[in-house]
Structure formats: structure tokens, C-alpha cells
Amino acid sequence: MIFGLYLSVLALASEGGGSLIDVNPGVVFWTFVTFIVLLLILKKFAWKPILTALDQRETAIKESLEKAEIAKQEAQKVLDQNQVNLAKAEEESKNIINQSRVYADKLKDQIVQEGKEQAKKIIDEAAAEIDRKKEAAFNELKSQIAEIAVNAAEKILRDNLDKEAQKKIVNKYIGEITKN
């Protein structure tokens, strides 16, 4: 279709003044000059800085991506290490707790044992003390009773009383003893 149109344009052109396919050397000359100057100017002032910037940006992006990847790997490593450490620490703490529990049990038993022994010892000592005191008290009582009896006999003998009176006196002293 375009080709047909092109032919009709050529036909039109031959009727009109100039022709579409007349190559004007002046235009060729200026196109060359303009294009080459344009190329040189743009190359120096536009394409070079833009392309350099694009390259820089691409390298920067590539590098940051690579860095991010490395950082990610390192973080993963650290995380794994942390998890291992955590597991280790947990194990250790469990061990420590278990050990301390065993130790505490032992200590408890020991303390209880000691306490029991101590108590027994104290009780024994107390019992011995009580026995001793009891004996001493009994001895004193015995000596007092003897003294009272001697005193009573002394009084009876001094007063020289009849049977009746003697009985009374003896009863009276015996009553005193019981009272004491």
C-alpha cells in the first residue's frame, strides 16, 4: 500500500515543481555536518556522563545485592551459632540445676541427720542431768529426813512425855514432814 502511495507521490511530484526524490547536495552536506557535530557534542556532554552514571548505578546495585547476600549468609551463620549456643546453655543450666538438686538433697539429708543426732545428744544429756539432779534431791531429802527424825527424837527425849504425848508429837512431826 505504502509502495503504491509512493509511486503516486512520484507522479504528483513530476507534475508539480520539485521532485520528492531530488537529492539536494546542500541538504546532504548539512546533514553530515550537523549529524557529526551533534554526535560529537552529545557523546562528550550527554551520552558519556549518562552511560557512566548508569554503569556506576548498575555496579552499585550489583555490589549492594552481593553485599546483602553475604550479610544474610553471615547473619544466618550467627543465628545458627546462637541457636547452638543457646541449646548448649540450656543443657548446661539443666545440668547445673540437676547437680544442685542432688547436692541439696544430700545436704538436706546430712542436716537432718546431724539435727537428729544433735537432738538425741541433747536429750541424752538432759536425761543424764535429770537423773543426776534426781539423785541429788533424793540424797538431800534423805539427809533432811534423818535430821528431822533426830530433832524429833531429841525433842521427845527432852520433854519426857507420856505415850500419848509422844504419839502426838511423833504424828505432829511426821505431819510436818509431809507438809514439807
Q: Contact region for other proteins (CB under 8 A) — 42-50, 97-105, 135-143, 146-154?
A: 42-50
Q: Is 34 in the site for other proteins (CB under 8 A)?
A: yes
CB of 84 to other proteins, least distance (A): 41
Contacts with 173 (C-beta within 8 Å, 6 or more apart), sequence order: 148, 151, 152, 155
Q: Is residue 6 at the binding interface for other proteins, with CB under 8 A as the rule?
A: yes
User: Between the CA of residue 141 and those of 18, 147, 175, what are the distances in Å?
Assistant: 168, 10, 16
- 38 vs 165 by CB, closer to other proteins: 38
Q: Which helix (H) or strand (E) holds 153?
A: helix 48-159
Crossing angle of the two packed helices 163-179 and 48-159, in degrees rounded to 10: 170
Closest CB to other proteins among residues 15, 164: 15
What is the rounded CA–CA span in Å between residue 48 and residue 41?
10
* Residue with Cβ nearer other proteins (59 or 110): 59
DSSP letter (8 states) at residue 13: H
For residue 35, give the 3-state DSSP assignment.
helix
Q: Taking CB under 8 A as the criterion, which residues in 46-105 touch other proteins?
A: 46-51, 53-54, 56-57, 60
Kindly tell me which of 27 and 96 has the beta carbon lying closer to other proteins.
27
- Using CB under 8 A as the binding rule, whether residue 158 contacts other proteins is answered as no
Task: Pick the closer one to other proteins by CB: 45 or 138.
Answer: 45
* Strand segments (E) across 9-78: none
Residues forming the site for other proteins (CB under 8 A): 2-3, 5-6, 9, 12-13, 15-18, 20-32, 34-39, 41-43, 45-51, 53-54, 56-57, 60
